[in-house]
Every structure is written in C-alpha cells, then in structure tokens.
Chains A and B, each alone.
Chain A
Amino acid sequence: MKEVKSSIKKVDGYGLVSGKPVYTDDLAPKNSLVVKILRSPHAFAKIKNIDTTKAEQLDGVECILTYKNVPRNIFTRAGQGYPEPSPYDKYILDEYVRYVGDEVAVVAARDEYTAEKALELLEVEYEILEPVLDFEKSKGSKSIIHPEKDYQSESFVSSDPKNNIAATYEMSIGDIEKEIENSDVVVKDRFYTQAQAHVMMEPHAAYSYMDMQGRLVVVTSTQVPFHVRRILARALGLPIKKIRVIKPRVGGGFGGKQAIHGEPYVALVTLKTGKPAKVYYTRKEVFESTYTRHPMRFDVTIGADKDGRIKVIDVRGLSDTGAYGEHALTTFMVAGSKVLPMYNKVKAVRFGGDVVYTNHPPAGAFRGYGAIQANFAIESAMDMLAYKLNMDPVKLREINMIRENETSPIFKIMGEGREGVDMIVRSCKLDECVEKGAKKIDWENKFKTKKEGKKVKGVGMAIAMQGSGIAKIDMGAATLKLNEDGSFNLLIGATDIGTGSDTILSQIAAEVLNVPTENIIPYSSDTDVTPFDVGAYASSTTYVSGNAVRKAAEKMKEEIIKAGAEYFEVPVEEVEFDGKEIKTKDNKITLQKLAEILYYNENQKQLSATGSYVGEESPPPFMAGYAEVEVDIETGKIDLLNYVAVVDCGTPINPNLAKVQVEGGLAQGIGMAMYEEVKYDKNGRLLTNNLLNYKIPSRVDIKNLEVELVDSYEPTGPFGAKSVGEIGIDTPPAAIANAIYNAVGVRIKDLPITPEKVLKALKNK
C-alpha cells in the first residue's frame, strides 16, 4: 500500500491556510440582498399580529416574510435518511413561536444596516403562553408545545405531541428483575448530561440565486447537501429537480450543520424577488437559534456477581429535544445502541424512555450523538460497580467487554430510528486499547497510590464504541472520470467539513488505481454534478463513501483495461494496467497516451465509472480513554494533567488526519466534561449566547493529550478502515468523573464537572 496508510497533506490544505475565498460567505454575489431574521423574545407565544408597514416603507427593503405569506408545509429540518425519523413539526414561519430565538419574520434589504433597521420597525403583538422549561416536567404538562393539526411522524417514531413527547423507545432482553435479584452487587443511580453548543468556527451561512433556467440554486455551509435539497423541496413546495444545492468549503460542523437553518429564508427571498440573497448568522444567532446537544437524564441499574461478571444492565432515559423534535428518536436510540453492546455478556438488558419537547432552543445532531450522554452515565456506573466489588475498574472492563468475532443482540434490535442489523464485530482491538492505555498512564501505580494533601491526583478510565455510518439506510456514491492527460476527476456527494475527507477519498481512489493521489482531483459536493451521498454524519464518510470510491475506482480500472484491449485488439485477459501503463505481452502504452487517443483519435469515448455503497453493517471503532486529574480540595479546582486515548479505527487511511480527528474529539469531550454549559434564565432566555459566556476549551486548558491508534483490519471497510469522526469525544466525561472519584472520593453525576460541584461534594462527604 502506497497511497493509503500515508499521512499526506490535505489536498485543499494550502488553499485553506492561505485564506483563499472558499467558504459560503466569501463567494456570495456582491449584489446579494442581506437577509436578517426577527427572533422571538418569548419562550412560548402566539403571534396575534405582525405589522410590517413601517419596515416596508424603509428605502432599501425588498422583501418581508411572515407566517402570512410563506408556504405552510410542515417539515423537519433534520438532515437524515428518508423516510425521516424526526417528526414533521416545523413550518418555515409559524404563528407560534416556541423558544427565545425562534423565527418570527424575515427581512431582506440591500445592505446589512437597512436590514437591521427594518427589523426594528417590525411591530409584533404576542399572546404569551406558559412555557415548559423543565424537561422533567414536560410530559403531560398543561402547555402543549405542538398543538398544530398537521403534525406528523412516521409510524416507527411514536410521537405523542399532546403529551409533549417527540418520540418514545423501549427495548428489553431477558428477565431484568430476576437478574437484578440474582446479582451479588447492584449499583443504581441517576446521571445528567447538559446541552452543549457545537461552536464550529464558521457560523451558519447560505446564499441563493436563480439560474438561467429559472432553477433555484442554494449555496450553503452544510454537511448534507442532498438532504438539504430534499428538505427544501418539501418546505418550499418545489419539485426536487428545480433545486440545486452547492456546498463550498465548510468551516466545521460537528453535527450542527446536519440540518437546514437559514436556507429556506434566502431561498424564499430569491423566489419572491428574483434576486440573489444571503444570510450569515451572528454568533448570538448560532447559539440561540441553531442546535445544541440533547440534554439527557439516565437512571442506570447494573447488577453483577461477586466475581465482577455483569448480569444485567437497565437504563431508563429522558431526553430534551427542545422546541422541535429534530434527531429526537435517533439520538436517544444511539444512546443505547452505541454503548450497551460493549457489555455483551449480560443475561438481561433493557433500554427505554421518552424524548420530550420543551421551550428551549432545539437540540440536534452533535458528534457523539447520544452515545456520549449514555457513555457518561453507564461508564460512571461501571466505575461505581468496580469500587463496590473492590475490583480494579480496568479488570471489570476486561472481564465484561466485547471482543473480536463476538456479537451482541443489541446490534439487531436497535438501529438509528429503526431496527438495526445483526453483525459480528470482525475487527475489535478494544482489549489492546485498554491494555495499552493502562500502561501509558501508569495505571497500576497511579490508581492504587494512597492519596493525601491539598492537591490530590487520581486516574480514571472509560471505554467507548461508535459506528461507521448507518447500516442499510445511508448510502454514498462516487464517480471517477478519466481526463485526457491521464488524471482523474473524483466527483463525490460526500461532504468534507474539515475532516480531510476529500483527501482520504482521493487516497482510496489513488490506491486502487495505483496512481499518485495528486492525480486524483476531488470535487464535493453539488447536487447537480456529484452523485448522491447522504453527507457527513454518523461517522460515515471514510467507511460508506470510501467504499463507494473504492468500487468506482475498481470499475474505472476495468474500463481502462477494456479500452486497452480494444486498442491493442486483444482479449481483456491479456491486458494489465499498473497505474502508469496498459500492457500486453508484446505492447504497452501509457495511460496518458491512451487517454489522448480515446478523446481525440480512435475508438473515441469518455471513460467514467460510478460506484455506490450502503453498509450492510456498521462496524464500530473502539476506544479506551484514561484521564489523570489533580483536584485542589480547598477550592474544588480540577486540572486535567493527562489524557491518554487508544483508539481502534481499523486501518487508518491517513494516520495524521485520523489522529487529529481523535485529538479534536477529545478536546470537545473535555469541554463537555469540564467547561461547557448552556445556561438559561428563568424565562428561557439563553445566558450563554456568546463566546465570552460560553466557555469552550482554549489552548491553555488542553494540556497533554496522547493519542495512539492501534492497528486492526476491518474486512468490510475500504483497505481495512472503520470510522474515527466521533469516537474521540465519547470517553472524557466518564473518565474524568472517574478520575476525580479516584483522587478525592466524590462522585459528580451531572455535567459539567465544575469546581463548585466538586467543592460542594467534598464538603458533604
């Protein structure tokens, strides 16, 4: 292998570091109308009247949209597979507003100043309704957040809007009560995870224009261009063929751009005025009016025998989807399906609960997608079990965790939104991850050292798994096209959001064709030009789209050999292609020369090949995370001294880029564990609506992160690869909580773990 397993530089790297105009807002036409959105000051209200006359009279205002003059098609903004596993509970603009920041009206003006001025001139009369701000009191509350008659969800989603329930899920294997009764040791506790904001550096941005055929073109910073096209078609009431969606460079996504946000508003302005229109969210809007991670509550019961063999795991959950049910069911199911199979030797397992509406900003997709929430709860409870058993937490994992060539019944029962697929874990070096991580952090010494003093050190660990795409639902495709100089265009619907997937997919194509990666010219993604792909989410690009690229490249190789056979007038069996030359026993021709002949001289034809792929399974990457902390018992301050992550992502296509994915995920997970907290006032107004109040980790907060990739080979992946996009984020919350317990004997069960909480717990000890 030459091109894969190689840390080559990103193909677009130089353009990015030198600041080329490649992001959505850099490319918007200069004459675009500026779109601004008036947002609700109330957590829950009905709009009695909107008076737009004064704003309309303002010079430079070209279009004002309210619920009275926009299409009323109910839809979901969540960019997921189809039929959609999120309820249809959103209109482009509605007479109800359901959180502080919800869209009330839209203005488009010739410049930003005028647009902002126009917002001030809109006069809105609200009937204020009683909001639901506590997700534990939402179910069955008197206030019904979605009273609309045309609310819809697919049969497998089980929404109950009259009781503020966006989705419900229940599964069970074995006799839970009996196994708990038969357990020697039982741990039972309640855990909470908070809302977290994505804070991708580039805010949400989109622009639109009409092309010369009267089609709507939307250029947007999105992870899911093909889903955007489908959702827009539904929301606007246009046929899909009338819409083209183009994705330029994306300045980070993390799930926050796996949805539509400003797209319908610019699109409608363009449809109404015929003019280009653009929207660029302020950071305040990104915080207040896009997505957060779903806050969740878990009641976990684990029973084991005295030797530490886990017999039963029972998890009851409650998830807060905010004002709209985007990704409600699927994040909740992932909380079970991407954690529980790790402990595959249990006799009984149960998972279930509700996803409820509240009048908070909507929750949506976010790296880790439910798995990180449940990982914190279950991996904290595992630690508690280990202490109760007087057993080393590492040993407890070693006894119970899943190993190579094993399976779990959960795989078949729980997918994302629907049933899953039965699979055997063909590649799993979790055992090696656990062992290596323990050595690297010096677990043996540090875990057992007697701890005294004002500043106390401790270590903790957690294990995690994720998936690689959504099996049997999410599809990717790729087209390769030979150019007359022997280079190839690689057209991919897959969406590079900063992960380096354009590079990785080019490497895969190059490897199959045995050409240098620089001879592959990737282009992603444009719904008119590139083949279908569901986009960048669910850790799918390397695995799903990568397999599609591999198939396309294999077909292209066949096409080249066929063209060579025709040229030499011999059967294909006598022709070989080594990446440079097409050869028979007696003759040879370079690829470049053959391409030139094909396009200009003889037997003229274009060589192109398309491959598509849908996973029959979703092989999980695995990880062991080890944290070393120092806790100041006088102040509760926690310093994360070291974090060791050992990850099995199969065979990495580009080891550097895979490692950076883990490092970035860890920092985000550390943020969730220790710093980041979305806070509201008593009326549901967001207090953490800028980067001064919402604290993501800075360079100074992130100390020693050590990441090692262990090599496994996933037979269903391209060149042995599995995914790596999400797994890095999963372990820090539990591992850090466990390390704090190891250091000072206090157990923090709600995130983030702040000095206040630690100090309070120390005082109550």
Chain B
Amino acid sequence: MKIALTINNVKKEVEISPSEFLLDVLRRLDYMSVKKGCDTGTCGVCTVLMDGKPVLSCSVLAASADGHEITTIEGLSEDPEFKAISNALLEEGADQCGFCSPGLILNVYAMKKELKNPSEEDMKKYLVGNLCRCTGYVPQMRAIKKYFEVKA
C-alpha cells in the first residue's frame, strides 16, 4: 500500500506493507538516526516526532502515520535548539556510545516546547522512557538542566 509522509519537511509517497512499522520504513528510506534497540517500545532509541510530538517509531504502524509529519534528527541539523541541546551533551561528555542520543535529543526538543520551567523531577519523568546504559543518566541530566537554564 502507498502512504504519504512528510519527513523532515519533504513530502514523500512511500510503498509499505501493511504490517510494517514506522521505524523500519524510516530506516529503509535511509534515516539511519532512527535506531532499533528493544522491539517493545521500552528503550526510546527509535523516538521520532510525529506532528511535533515524540512517538516510539517501533510501535507505530507505518500505515497509521499516513498524512503525518515526521521529524528525525537529520531534519534538525540546522535547528538552533538541536545545536544547543547537543552542545550541552557534548560538553558534559554525555554522548558516550551515542546510540541513545538522537532519541533523547528529540525528546528534550519536544519537552522544551511542552513544559514551562520544569523541575528536575519533571524532566526525569518526561524523559523516563529514554534508557541509557553508558552514562548513568547523571551527566545527561546535568547537560539538559544547563540547556534549560541557559534558555530560560
């Protein structure tokens, strides 16, 4: 079946099979920033934005994304917010293996738009679905807090 997706502001008609998940379609289309980590919607590495809201692309059927706008990290490369978040992470050395970074950054990007003056607890709750095994979360949280403080 054919669906229409707007990926990073580019309109595309995509041939998919009905059982395909958005994650697999995006990777098939070379959006390799979208990672496959757990197959059960638990780890957050496959996070993308659908109409600006974070979703787990491993749990979204591609068919249900028909007509929607999808944003991946590739689409944010020129965005000043992306640069500020990623710079904060890099300055703390919180990028480590990097496999969870794109998903985490997209969620922080969405959180910034959604939450006003969040506390650290609010941030942790918002980002709880982004697992990381390298950093122990602490340097990531240092970076994210810094990013919010600078911007506030």
What residues on B are CB-neighbors of A251 within 8 Å? 35, 97-99
B33 touches A20 (CB 8 A): yes
Query: A173 an interface residue at 8 Å Cβ cutoff?
Result: no
Q: Is A467 interfacial (CB-CB < 8 Å)? A: no
Q: Which of the residues A15, A16, A692, A700 comes within 8 Å of B125, measured between beta carbons?
A: A700
Distance in Å: Cβ of A209 to nearest Cβ of chain B: 19
> Could you tell me the distance between the alpha carbons of A706 and B64 in the complex, rounded to whole angstroms?
45
Given A17-B102, A498-B134, do A201 and B39 touch, yes or no (CB 8 Å)? no
Chain A residues near B90: list those with CB within 8 A: 9-10, 13-14, 17
What is the CA–CA distance of A255 and B102 in the complex, to the nearest angstrom? 24
Question: Which residues of the other chain, A, contact B42 by a CB distance below 8 angstroms?
Answer: 690-692
Contact (Cβ within 8 A) A282 B39: yes
Q: How far is the CB of A200 from chain B (nearest CB, A)?
A: 6
**Chain A contacts for B101, CB-based, 8 A:** 16-17, 19
A201 and B102 CA atoms in complex are apart in Å by 12
B82 to chain A, nearest CB (A): 8
Chain B, residues 33-56, CB within 8 Å of chain A (1/0): the string is 111111110110100000000000
A140 near B: Cβ within 8 Å?
Answer: no
Kindly state whether residue A546 has any CB partner on chain B within 8 Å: no
Residue of A nearest to B31 (CB): A19
Dominant secondary structure at the A interface = loop
Query: Is the Cβ of A252 less than 8 Å from the Cβ of B134?
Result: yes
> Chain B: interface secondary structure?
loop
Whether B99 pairs with A696 at a CB distance below 8 angstroms is: no
Total of A-B residue pairs, C-beta within 8 Å: 174
**1/0 per residue A16-30: CB within 8 Å of B?**
111111110110000
Whole-angstrom distance between the Cβ of B35 and the nearest chain A Cβ: 7
User: Complex formed: what's the CA distance from A705 to B141 in Å?
Assistant: 11
Establish whether residues B38 and A690, one from each chain, have CB atoms under 8 Å apart when the complex forms: yes
Of the listed stretches A289-297, A506-514, A656-664, name the one at the interface; the rest are far from the partner chain: A656-664
Task: Give the residues from 84 to 116 in chain B that come closer than 8 angstroms, CB to CB, to chain A.
Answer: 86, 89-102, 105
* B99 contacts A202, C-beta separation under 8 Å: yes
**Which B residues touch A15, using CB under 8 A?**
98
- A659 x B136 contact (CB < 8 A): no
> CA–CA, A666 to B136, complex, Å?
7
B23 contacts partner chain A, Cβ-Cβ < 8 Å: no
Q: Are A663 and B135 in contact (CB under 8 A)?
A: yes
Given the complex, which residues of A lie within 8 Å of B130, measured CB to CB? 699
Distance in angstroms from A697 CB to nearest chain B CB is 8
Residue of A nearest to B33 (CB): A19
B9 interface hit (Cβ, 8 Å):
no
A660 near B135: Cβ-Cβ < 8 Å: yes
Residues of B within 8 A of A199 (CB): 131, 133
Q: Which of A18, A21, A660 contacts B96 (CB 8 A)?
A: A660
Minimum CB distance partner of A251 in chain B: B99
- In the bound assembly, the distance between CA atoms of A252 and B135 in angstroms comes to 11
B98's partner among A249, A699, A700 (CB-CB below 8 A) is A249
**Closest A residue, CB atoms, query B19:** A113
Q: Does A667 contact B (CB under 8 A)?
A: yes
Q: A17-B101, A500-B93, A667-B138 are in contact. List 18 more A-B contacts (CB 8 A).
A: A9-B91, A9-B93, A14-B90, A16-B95, A17-B86, A18-B33, A21-B32, A25-B36, A202-B99, A249-B97, A251-B99, A252-B99, A252-B134, A659-B139, A690-B40, A691-B38, A696-B131, A699-B124
Q: Which are the 9 A-B pairs with shortest beta-carbon distances? A: A19-B33, A498-B97, A16-B98, A667-B136, A251-B99, A21-B32, A656-B93, A663-B136, A691-B42
Q: Which chain B residues have a beta carbon within 8 Å of chain A's beta carbons?
A: 17, 30, 32-40, 42-43, 45, 72-74, 77, 82, 86, 89-102, 105, 124-125, 127-128, 130-141
